[in-house]
Amino acid sequence: MGGDRRTLSLRGASTVAIAAVALVLLAALAVFFVWPVTAILWRGIAPDGVPDPAGMLEVLARLRTQRIIGMTLAQAAIATCCAVLLGVPAAMVLYRLRFPGRSLARAAAMVPFVMPTVVVGIAFRVLVDGTVLEDSWWAIILALVFFNVPVVIRTVGTAWEDLDPVLEESAADLGARPISAFLRVTLPRLAPAIASAALVVFLFCATAFGVVLVLGGARFGTVETEIWTLTTQYLDLQGAATLSILQLVVVVGLLIATSRFRPVSELRTPSAGRAPRAGDWPVLASTAVTAILLAAPIVVLILRSLRDGPDWTLDNYLALGSLGGRTTIAIPPLAALGNSLAFGAGAAAIALAFGLAASVLLSRPARSRAMRRFVAALDGALMLPLGVSAVTVGFGFLIALDRPPLDLRTSALLVPIAQALVAVPLVIRMLLPVLRGVDPLLRDAAADLGAGPWAVLRTIDLRLVARPVVAAGGLAFAMSLGEFGATAFLSRGDQATLPVLIERLASTPGPGNFGVATAASVLLAAVVALVLGAAELGQPRRHA
């Protein structure tokens, strides 16, 4: 009886703690996401305080709006297909074959995903300069593929690594050719992972901002850049709000679809892989093409940063520490890098605290149907910041957080909070699978030995998730360093971050401006790569 009462007491305490955490998470989400987004959308939906559906329909009926929507969908669809076609073979090479330097190659393959969008835009401007792709739509497509191939590689590769190789080996023993074994045995089991990766890539491509702004400008706009244009240049809040609502509806649908295609691992212990064979040459060749696509823009950007016209020089790098007579910027690029590092560290700390608490909550087994529904709804709500325009979030912050007790317009916290909103969903997606994989018997055994809920959390869950927390923190830091959409709204004057400064330099005519922008881009890319490399070291070792 005593043991039963203790179990009930622990469950009661755990339930109270879970409820308290859930309330804190929902309150933070409401204040720093729902409220700002709702404020800016309401100003557009009801310009005079009364909803104006006719005005919203008029926005959707504009030929420019329809062209922008069509261009966004076509761009996202083409880039997604290309990313999948290049990413699946590379996933096999990096996660199914065994060769020296594989871990380093995996880390290098993820670098483009966290490259600042402005840096990639500058890199592709340099890459296509003087070619038929200059000022073309296809330059944007290539840049989007560059960004999103790593998503396919990581998502499909992780699922592929978990597949039991016995079925493929059995098919080979029965005389099936490698391509036949792949199509009949491997592909059906990989289909959920490929579908999930494709939906996520489509989402990222459809909501791309920085790279489209740098490469396309007003000529090849998307829904995201159109929201920016309508807000900053025309003050057309109704048009921007209409597009934001349309984007949000589409994103919610994609997130729901993605959850239905979430891959399920077949093995607890991933396969160690096999040595490459002669028959692997098609996937090896495809992976080589992918490697060239991922490396070429960065290499060309580095070379351009070392030139001033026909001459090789370090002048662009030497100018990073001073204004150099340029009136287009308020602070030197090195000072802007310091701002980026400070804001990024703050954003990573916020994202880790929020994401870890949410992951612990979402990983707890639901004891009733109502609880399962609540957990699923909370999980979906925490993913919403991925689908709302960063421009909408940034402008919403300025409008909603402008009076006591949350007058943060001049606060240094505004930028890291906005950056953390984008990083939190990714932190949760990294930590949640690890916590859900913890054997419940470990927690029960600790509780039977007298450990309370907090002791169980500290000794079981947090200990097992320590390395992924390092990796998630590094990823959040790297992404915050390159965030551009919301930061461009919120950072001003001497608080400008390096991505904002790079865009200003690259878009402003003047002697040496673009050269300094390329040098600053290389510097920012190097910092992000170092952070990502350190984060990759925090990943748990899946096998020897």
- Containing domain of residue 128, as a range? 52-273+280-296
Query: Which of 504, 216, 58 lies closest to 208 in space, CA to CA?
Result: 216
Let me know whether 514 and 444 are in one domain: yes
**Does residue 264 lie within any of the structural domains?**
yes
Let me know whether 44 and 81 are in one domain: no
**Does residue 7 lie within any of the structural domains?**
no
398, 489 in Cβ contact below 8 A?
A: yes
Let me know whether 223 and 335 are in one domain: no
Given this model, what pLDDT does residue 87 score?
Answer: 94
Let me know whether 418 and 464 are in one domain: yes
- What CATH number should be reported for the domain holding residue 419? 1.10.3720.10
Let me know whether 42 and 72 are in one domain: no
Given this model, what pLDDT does residue 267 score?
Answer: 44
449, 457 in Cβ contact below 8 A?
A: no
Given this model, what pLDDT does residue 188 score?
Answer: 82
In degrees and rounded to multiples of 5, residue 405 shows phi and psi of -90, 5
Q: For residue 538, what are the CA distances in angstroms to 3, 107, 193, 304? A: 39, 11, 24, 33
Length of the chain, in residues: 544
| Single-letter amino acid, residue 353 | A
d(CA 249, CA 242) in angstroms, rounded, equals: 11
Let me know whether 343 and 457 are in one domain: yes
Let me know whether 288 and 388 are in one domain: no
Given this model, what pLDDT does residue 544 score?
Answer: 38
d(CA 509, CA 227) in angstroms, rounded, equals: 25
Q: Which of 262, 296, 330 is the last residue of a domain?
A: 296
Q: Is 484 helix (H, G, I), strand (E, B) or coil?
A: coil
Residues in Cβ contact with 210 at an 8 Å cutoff, skipping those fewer than 6 apart: 116, 117, 118, 120, 121, 484, 485, 499, 503
DSSP type of residue 409? T
d(CA 298, CA 304) in angstroms, rounded, equals: 10
**Does residue 175 lie within any of the structural domains?**
yes
Query: Which of 246, 222, 13, 211 lies closest to 117 in space, CA to CA?
Result: 211
d(CA 469, CA 155) in angstroms, rounded, equals: 19
If one counts every other C-beta atom within 10 angstroms of the C-beta of residue 399, the result is 15
Given this model, what pLDDT does residue 7 score?
Answer: 46
**Does residue 2 lie within any of the structural domains?**
no
In degrees and rounded to multiples of 5, residue 235 shows phi and psi of 50, 35
232, 412 in Cβ contact below 8 A?
A: no
Domain total in the chain: 2
Query: Which of 433, 424, 435, 431 lies closest to 364 in space, CA to CA?
Result: 435
227, 392 in Cβ contact below 8 A?
A: yes
Q: Is 97 helix (H, G, I), strand (E, B) or coil?
A: strand
Let me know whether 33 and 98 are in one domain: no
Q: Which residue bears the tokens 């040098």? A: 519
Let me know whether 365 and 461 are in one domain: yes
d(CA 392, CA 384) in angstroms, rounded, equals: 13
**Does residue 1 lie within any of the structural domains?**
no
Let me know whether 287 and 228 are in one domain: yes
109, 151 in Cβ contact below 8 A?
A: no
| Single-letter amino acid, residue 230 | L
**Does residue 517 lie within any of the structural domains?**
yes
Let me know whether 284 and 323 are in one domain: no
**Does residue 95 lie within any of the structural domains?**
yes
Averaged over successive runs of 10 residues, the pLDDT of the chain (544 residues) comes to 46 62 86 88 80 88 92 94 94 88 84 85 90 86 93 87 69 60 74 87 87 79 86 83 84 74 51 72 89 91 89 90 67 92 94 89 77 80 78 82 76 88 87 75 64 65 77 88 85 84 83 88 90 67 46
**Does residue 438 lie within any of the structural domains?**
yes
d(CA 258, CA 193) in angstroms, rounded, equals: 10
Task: Identify the sign of the CA torsion 128, 133, 134, 138.
Answer: negative
Q: What angle do CA 16, 348, 335 make, to 5 degrees?
A: 150
Let me know whether 235 and 317 are in one domain: no
Given this model, what pLDDT does residue 10 score?
Answer: 43
Query: Which of 422, 92, 74 lies closest to 223 in space, CA to CA?
Result: 74
Helices (H), 100-222: 102-114, 117-128, 137-161, 166-173, 178-181, 187-206, 210-215
| Single-letter amino acid, residue 68 | I
| Single-letter amino acid, residue 315 | D
Pairing type for strands 307-308 and 311-312 reads antiparallel
DSSP type of residue 267? -
Please state the pTM of the whole predicted model. 0.80
| Single-letter amino acid, residue 54 | A
